[in-house]
Every structure is written in structure tokens, then in C-alpha cells.
Amino acid sequence: MIRYLSEADVAALLDVPTAIELLAAASRKLVSGEATCAPRQRVTSGGVLMNVLAAGLDGRVGHKTYPIARPRGATFWFTLFGNDGRMFALIEADRLGQMRTGAASGLATHALARPDAKVATVIGTGWQARTQLAAVCATRPIEQAFAYGRNAEHARTFCDEMQTTLDIPVVPVTDLAAAVGVADVVITMTNASDPVLFGAMLREGTHVNAAGSNKATSAEIDAEVVSRASIVAIEHLAQSKMEAGDLLRAESAGAFDWSRATLVQEIVAGVAPGRTSAAEITLSDGIGIGLWDIAAANHVYDRALEAGLGREIDIPG
């Protein structure tokens, strides 16, 4: 028997602050050798792109898979296996992915942003941007947020929802440079192929979470953002070298070398330095890794057992 958990189950069992704590704990276990994480694998056939993210944590192994095909788009699944090799959970993973992606930026913000950060600007107002802003607000005393999006109606809706959720002013803006120029934390969560955030916009002391791109051919930030950053935090070296278009483009421009990259997990675990001055610009280039998924999935499964959520499915094996 395996336990099947729906999107509604996940939403009932996981919130952003908890997800940040889960990722922090997983980070420390990765650094100590108690967790493993493989780079994302992508395969195609007949117009379908399959993405696979695998990891091991707390005596379990699992993977998130998400095929992408037109016109349906992407569907997300996480499967958990025990140390006897048997699958014991199948989890609908769209909400899980949204929560852990936001939490990854929250984790980086906690590790790198100034403790007194009060203003956040988010570029992008879609599904993923919601947990991005929520996670930043969960880790820093944000008092004001600005949101920039290409679709004015979507931006207004986003701001109305997030203002209610976070209980702070969240204001749509059309002057992106001005909104970035007053921000302590800047988030990019877009599907842009070319930069929307430029280094010249940033003031001293800003922390940037570049979280929208995981394609080698796409970049949300320009090379100057990367070159101005005293710390460039990544989640997985091998995966970043394949997917982090922001950094790959900066490398091609001569503005970045991989020797500058620091694993965010090592900063969290205290074995690599974080911010050392209030004037530093810091950058987290998040691409999404399997470790984040299994940390969230383990929690959701365990809490589901306690709460009696989900349903049992009889699958031999």
C-alpha cells in the first residue's frame, strides 16, 4: 500500500516558514554527508520534456518528476521510497514545488540579506512569486513591498492578495529602476529569456534572489549584477553549471568565474562565510534542487500520517 497525497493535502500540511526550516535542516545534513542530491536530468521524446530531480534524506530516497507537453503544460509528482526500496508515497507536487521554491529564497535571504532589511521588490507576479515574497517576509522585517509585472491587471491582483496575506503595503509599480533602487531585497521570478534586472539599478547592501531561470539559455539578471555581488550563492555546482543561465551568461561576458561560487548550504551550515558588511551586494542564484523537494515531501508524508490525510492505494511491490 502507498499513501496518495493531493495538492489539497499538501496545502494543509506545509507552510512557508516550516518549509524554510526544513530546507535549513536539509542543508546542514548535505554538508555533513547525511544527505545526497543529484543534478536535474532532462529527456525528450515526441514533444514531451521530462524533468527528474532525485535526492536522499533521512533514510529515504525520492524524486520529483514533471513532464511538460503542449497544450497541457507541466504536471508535478513526487515519489518516496524507503530504505527497503519500496515506494510508500505518491504526492501531487505542484504546491509542494511552489512552497519549496519560495522557501529556498527565504533560506538564502536569511543567510545573506542585511538583518534590518525592510523593503522588498519582486519582479514577476505569477504563481511562484507569491511564495517568494512570503518567504522573504518570513525571514526579514519587511515593512513595504513593491511588485513589477508585465501585465498590469495581474500585478494589481498579486498586490491585493499579498497585502492581505502579509499585512504590509504591497504596491504595483511601473518604474522598475526606482523600485529596485530603494529595495533591501530584490526577487526575480519571471520566465524572461533576457535580463530584467540590471546591476546599475542596485544600491549598496542589496540582496538579490534570482529564482526564475533554470535554463542555460535564459537570464533574468545581467552580468553586472553578478560582478557587483561579493557573494554568489548557488544550490548545486554541477547543476548550476548546466542550468544557471544567469551565471553562464556572466561567465561568457568575463564577469564571473565558478571559483567565486559558494554553496548556500555551506553558508547555512556555518562552514562558509556569509555577509561581512552592510554595504555588500549579495546574490543567490536559485535553480531548484531535489534536496529541497525531498525535505518538503518527507515532512508532508509524516504529517499526513499523523493527521490521517491522504488515501491508501494498493500497488503490489
pLDDT at 72: 87
Q: What angle do CA 55, 59, 65 make, to 5 degrees?
A: 30
Residue type, 58: D
Q: Is a pLDDT exceeding 70 seen at residue 209?
A: yes
The phi, psi pair for 199, rounded to 5°, reads -55, -35
The phi, psi pair for 53, rounded to 5°, reads -125, 115
Give me the percent of the chain exceeding a pLDDT of 90: 97
Per the prediction, the chain carries an average pLDDT of 97
Residue for cell digits 514533444? 47
Q: How far apart are CA 216 and CA 214, in angstroms?
A: 7
| Count of CA atoms in the C-beta half-sphere (13 A) of 16 | 22
Within 8 A by CB and 6+ apart from 160, the residues are 170
pLDDT tens across 247-258, in order? 999 999 999 999
Q: Is a pLDDT exceeding 80 seen at residue 316?
A: no
Q: Is a pLDDT exceeding 70 seen at residue 317?
A: no
Higher pLDDT, 315 or 287: 287
* Pair 56, 25: CB distance under 8 Å: no
CATH level 3 topology of 103-288: Rossmann fold (3.40.50)
Q: Is a pLDDT exceeding 70 seen at residue 313?
A: yes
Q: How far apart are CA 176 and CA 180, in angstroms?
A: 6
Full-model pTM: 0.96
pLDDT at 81: 97
pLDDT at 314: 86
β-strands 73-74, 60-69 pairing: antiparallel
pLDDT tens across 19-67, in order? 999 999 999 999 999 999 999 999 999 999 999 999 999 999 999 999 9
Name the strands in the sheet holding 144-148, side by side, starting at the edge strand that comes first in the sequence: 170-172, 144-148, 119-123, 185-188, 207-210, 281-285, 229-234, 261-263
Domain-wise residue ranges, the chain: 2-97+291-313, 103-288
Q: How far is CA 97 from the centre of its chain?
A: 8
Q: Which CATH superfamily is domain 2-97+291-313 in?
A: ornithine cyclodeaminase, domain 1 (3.30.1780.10)
pLDDT tens across 150-208, in order? 999 999 999 999 999 999 999 999 999 999 999 999 999 999 999 999 999 999 999 99
3-state helix, strand, coil in the chain (%, to 5): 40, 25, 35
pLDDT tens across 62-81, in order? 999 999 998 888 999 999 99
Q: How far apart are CA 173 and CA 299, in angstroms?
A: 37
Q: Which ranges in the chain belong to alpha helices (H)?
A: 7-13, 16-32, 94-112, 127-139, 152-166, 176-181, 223-228, 237-243, 245-252, 264-269, 290-307
β-strands 41-45, 144-148 pairing: unpaired
β-strands 261-263, 41-45 pairing: unpaired
pLDDT at 109: 98
Q: Return the C-alpha cell found at 241.
A: 553549471
Instruction: Supply the DSSP string of 37-69, one letter for each residue.
Output: EPPPEEEEETTEEEEEEEEEETTEEEEEEEEEE
Q: How far apart are CA 28 and CA 117, in angstroms?
A: 25
Q: How far apart are CA 248 and CA 270, in angstroms?
A: 27
Q: Is a pLDDT exceeding 70 seen at residue 307?
A: yes
